[in-house]
Amino acid sequence: MRFDIVTIFPEIFARILEHGILRRAQAAGLVAVNAHDLRVFTRDNHRTVDDRPFGGGEGMVLKPEPLAEALNFLGMGPKPAQQAEGVSGGGENAAAEDLPRAKARVVLLSAQGKLFTQAVARELAALDRVVLICGRYEGVDERINLLYCDQEISIGDYVLSGGELAAAVVVDAVTRLLPGALGNEASRHFDSFGAADEEIEADEKGVPRSQHGAGGLLDYPHYTRPAEFGGVRVPQVLLSGDHRAIRRWRREQQLRKTLANRPDLMERAVLSNDDRKMLEAIRGDVRLNLTQGE
């Protein structure tokens, strides 16, 4: 898989890509990440990439011309619908670099975008190439979004100084989903927000697991040695050797943590009848604790 990142600060990514899963994935040839300096694609002596917004207002906006030059150079000219309307595109590398839009995507990183989730990461992981545009200042001229971008993504309901950190988040989240990127291939199926049971291949060869995929819930708590720390002992069920009891405890903890920290996820979580019974009991405990607290 290939990532191309268009940014005015390409040096930010050098150190991020030198560590952990990203370093190993690149070394293994699973992923290639290239950061491209937007200023290279300017045509004035001052290498200007921004200008004041039409209509007034604070801040500056990234100009469309350098971004269009960069995307054309990368072989990601205007979307097919725009080409049909007579918008020209494609740079000198277009023939060599171009990939079908079905397997490539141009993504604008923006506070106004669709929320980046594990499901979106899985969609991107199925592609051959992702081009990430890092916004700066007040954002990017909207014509780039309309003419070139397939998707607009936000990593959360807050504002960053630029899209570089968001791009790093997207690259990391997507890369770890690529086959071979993780030391334990099954790990990615059991993360928070993991795919539901029916979406992944199950392995029941005696390996104790909490479930086949998180089904959109948060992960359960994890413990390791020592068995006691700071006066708090590891839950006895995890030391029992009873794998069925452990699976049930972990599922219950997922439900408790999701209900406490991200109740919004419950609306679209994949829940079994047993899950619903546990959830009702958990809610009963919460109501009881609230009553006793009063």
Structure tokens belonging to residue 130: 């992702």
Average of per-residue pLDDT across 229-246: 96
Please name which of 129, 123, 276, 269 lies closest in space to residue 193, comparing C-alpha atoms.
Answer: 269
pLDDT at 88: 53
Neighbours of 290 (CB within 10 A): 9
Check: CATH 1.10.1270.20 for 190-293?
A: yes
Digit-coded pLDDT (tens) for 4-46: 999 999 999 999 999 999 999 999 999 999 999 999 999 999 9
Q: Which CATH number fits domain 2-175: 3.20.20.70, 3.40.50.720, 1.20.58.340, 3.40.1280.10?
A: 3.40.1280.10
Q: Which residues of 226-242 are buried (b: 16+ CB within 10 A; e: fewer)?
A: eeeeeeeeeeeebeeee
Collapsing DSSP states into helix, strand and coil, what is residue 293?
A: helix
Under 8 Å between Cβ of 40 and 71: no
DSSP state of 240: S
Q: Where exactly are the structural domains of the chain?
A: 2-175, 190-293
Amino acid 60 reads: M
State the pLDDT at residue 281: 96
Q: What is the pLDDT of residues 129-158, one digit of tens each?
A: 999 999 998 999 999 999 999 999 999 999
pLDDT (0 to 100) of residue 292: 73
Averaged pLDDT for residues 158-166: 96
| Gap between the Cα atoms of 291 and 192, Å rounded | 31
Summary mean pLDDT of the chain: 87
| Structural tokens at position 220 | 């359960």
Residue 98: pLDDT over 60: no
Provide the phi-psi class of 188: left if phi over 0, else alpha when psi is between -120 and 50, else beta: alpha
pLDDT for position 95 = 38
